[in-house]
Amino acid sequence: MRCTTDAVGSSAEPRSSLPQPAPEGSDCETFVRELYERHGTDLLRYASRLLGGDWHQAEDIVQEAAARAWNHAKVLRNAHEARPWVFTVVRNLVIDHHRARQIRPTEVPAVERPEIPVADQIDRLLTAQVVTHALRELSTQHKEVIRLMHYSRYSVADAAKHLGVPPGTVKSRSYYAIRALRSALVNRGVLDAAA
């Protein structure tokens, strides 16, 4: 990028007249480096405050202001005297940013949606079939207690009354029936033995 003096005032540059040209020997890079050293932190804070705390956008604004200062290095006397000018450029760039956001809706990045498994009837039918086959391996007493307590939702007392046995016997049969069913499902590879 070369230093120019013919940059026409854009909407982001101050609308007041610029100071007189600097002496001919000025170095644009030195000027911009000094500008950053003296005012960079203040410019960043100022832009961030105007942008509601958006530091990333504030950095972009300050960089754009520095580029415009680079283009006007020949007419700005020095980094100290350029302070009001560059702060005005930052303010105008923020105003342009706000106007652009009002015209154009905020872009939201597309979020990849993970595939959500949907339970379907096939899974239910296969599971029911495997459980039915595993239940066939159980004794009649174990099948009956599982049917009453887990399918018909009997309480321990109701199942004991229905079977004509004490409640402790129903609890014991239920425990061993579930263990036997689990073992049958592990043998079929449906359940993990460690689970």
Model pLDDT for residues 57-82, shown as the tens digit of each residue: 889 998 898 888 888 777 776 766 77
pLDDT band at 129 (very low <50, low <70, confident <90, very high): confident
Query: Which distant-in-sequence residues (6+ apart) come within 8 Å of 2 by Cβ?
Result: 28
Domain 28-103 shares a fold with domain 121-187: no
Instruction: Give yes or no for residue 125 having a pLDDT over 50.
Output: yes
pLDDT band at 167 (very low <50, low <70, confident <90, very high): very high
To the nearest whole percent, how much of the chain has pLDDT over 70?
Answer: 75
Task: Provide mean pLDDT across the span 109-136.
Answer: 74
pLDDT band at 110 (very low <50, low <70, confident <90, very high): low
Q: In terms of Cα–Cα distance, which of 6, 33, 31, 13 is closest to 92?
A: 13
What pLDDT, on a 0 to 100 scale, did the predictor assign at position 176?
A: 92
Domains in the chain: boundaries:
28-103, 121-187
What pLDDT, on a 0 to 100 scale, did the predictor assign at position 172?
A: 93
CA distance 184 to 181: 5
pTM tops 0.75: no
Among the four given CATH numbers 1.10.1740, 1.25.40, 2.40.50, 1.10.238, the one describing domain 28-103: 1.10.1740
pLDDT band at 157 (very low <50, low <70, confident <90, very high): very high
* Structure-block tokens of residue 151: 């399918």
The CATH-assigned architecture of domain 121-187 is Orthogonal Bundle (1.10)
Spatial contact of 192 and 186, defined as CB atoms under 8 Å apart: yes
Q: Residue 169 burial (CB < 10 Å; 0-12/13-18/19+)?
A: middle
What pLDDT, on a 0 to 100 scale, did the predictor assign at position 119?
A: 60
pLDDT band at 151 (very low <50, low <70, confident <90, very high): confident
CA distance 179 to 170: 14
pLDDT band at 16 (very low <50, low <70, confident <90, very high): very low
Q: What value does the mean pLDDT of the chain take?
A: 78
Listed range (64-78, 95-109, 112-126) with the worst mean pLDDT: 112-126
What pLDDT, on a 0 to 100 scale, did the predictor assign at position 17?
A: 42
Q: In terms of Cα–Cα distance, which of 146, 136, 152 is closest to 174?
A: 146
* Structure-block tokens of residue 144: 């009956």
What pLDDT, on a 0 to 100 scale, did the predictor assign at position 7?
A: 41
